[in-house]
Structure 1
Amino acid sequence: MSSLAPQRREPGELFGPRFTLFADMLAVGLAATVVSLPLITAPTAFAAACAVLRRSIREDRPVTMGEYVGELRAHGPRRVLLAGVTVFAAVTLVVLDLALAGAGLPGARPMSWALIAVAVAGLVVALRAAADPEVAHGWIPALNRAVTRAVADPVGCALIATAVGLCVAFLWMLPLLALLLPGPLAFAVTAVELRRIEPAYDADAAVGSGG
């Protein structure tokens, strides 16, 4: 695979290919933020960011905004609306439950921690679903596959949860980073997903080239 080959700079090139990927990640993050402004489009915007970054990593080539727009269109208005409404409803439910748990009811503290744990688990699964290569064809099958991957790969879930925590910390330290953070988060989730399939991919490529 070309992305695993030694990275070299062309004559006169100031920055290597890895810096190009870093710049693409930030640009995709900014594009995802802009597309997410209506809020209901946020899940699709993030899924499109994961898709173009996945292609950039595997094919070792720069990202184009045309590709990003194409990924957005691939979802279709109905799936965009369904995903946005579902996420908005889930977030609202969690916030209301936390508010009720903090209203001085008996067992409020354990209930609050349980709700937070469920919310984090749901967020990790949703992020893994957004990074699914076939998510544009349907969120429900992508969520089912994400649950399977989450159960089989708890380390990956921990890595994604850590990435989310880091994004929250960066946002707390410098709120202006909110414009760019979707890019690094999409890159982190995509990298976690790719790390499970790249070894098999490389082995198959090596067998093919040897034969």
Structure 2
Amino acid sequence: MGTREPGEVFGPRMTLFADVLSVGLATAVASLPVVTVPAALSSACAVLRGAGEGQPATAGRYFAVLRRRLRVGDLAAGAIALAGALLCAADLALAGAGLPGAPLFAVVAGAIGAAATVVGLRACARAESLTDWPGAVREAARDAVQDAGGSGLVLLAVVTAALCAWMMLPLAFLAPGPLALALTAVHVRRTGMSKS
């Protein structure tokens, strides 16, 4: 556990909390065009991963990382994620319309959507996502299968972030920070398990 620097009002844990919130706010702003969501979340995870290595986790560093990486592959990843979310929402809406077999179809569509969400979010937490989305997705899919507990934690983090945003709308702009921290922690947990 770190100690307080001279003149520091709060300890290092409170500083990390403040950094997570500032990175979350920066991520929310960067995600407004919607197709930038994967790049924005991946950049947040990279910045928070760097905090564990002694690098600053600030909004300024976040925007520096994001500026270096917004490229066609990142926008394509965002377009694919958006298309998948819209397809899942349309499927669930059709299932709610009372079609024959709708309850089973809704369960299957929900399970596929949840699995795709876990893989996509775990891909954002991987360092490979900064340069190679297909590689990050392949490794994330492998992690999602081999680390079911981590996948459950990712789903729990998503549900928690969604509930916070639903209960109090201003929290929606801060939720990406804790979500990125949770994704980073699950990834660090996974890499720590694979080394031992």
Normalised-by-shorter TM-score class: over 0.9
Which amino acid letter does the alignment assign opposite residue 74 of structure 1? Answer: R
Aligned to 1:156: 150
Aligned partners of 1:21 and 1:62 also within 8 Å: no
Aligned to 2:162: 168
Aligned 1:63-82 pairs, distance under 5 A: 63-82=57-76
Aligned 1:108-127 pairs, distance under 5 A: 108-127=102-121
Which amino acid letter does the alignment assign opposite residue 191 of structure 2? Answer: I
Aligned to 1:83: 77
1:15 maps to 2:24 = no
Q: CA deviation at 1:199?
A: 6.2
1:190 maps to 2:190 = no
Q: 1:28 & 1:11 partners in 2: Cα distance?
A: 25
1:59 maps to 2:44 = no
TM-score normalized with structure 2 length: 0.93
**Partner SS for 1:195:** helix
- Which residue of 27, 38, 41 corresponds with 1:46? 41
Aligned to 1:206: none
Aligned partners of 1:40 and 1:81 also within 8 Å: yes
Structure 1 unmatched ranges of 5 or more: 1-5, 204-211
Aligned to 2:30: 35
- Which residue of 99, 105, 116 corresponds with 1:105? 99
Which amino acid letter does the alignment assign opposite residue 118 of structure 1? Answer: I
Cα RMSD, aligned residues only: 1.6
Aligned partners of 2:43 and 2:66 also within 8 Å: yes
Which amino acid letter does the alignment assign opposite residue 188 of structure 2? Answer: L
Q: CA deviation at 1:61?
A: 4.2
Q: 2:36 & 2:49 partners in 1: Cα distance?
A: 20
- Which residue of 14, 18, 26 corresponds with 2:21? 26
Percent sequence identity is: 46
Cα 1:160–1:200 shift into 2, 3 Å: closer
**Partner SS for 1:134:** helix
Moved more, 180-189 or 7-16: 7-16
TM-score normalized with structure 1 length: 0.87
**Partner SS for 1:59:** coil
Q: 1:10 & 1:73 partners in 2: Cα distance?
A: 31
Structure (1 or 2) with the larger CA radius of gyration: 1
Aligned 1:134-149 pairs, distance under 5 A: 134-149=128-143
Count of residues in correspondence between the two structures: 196
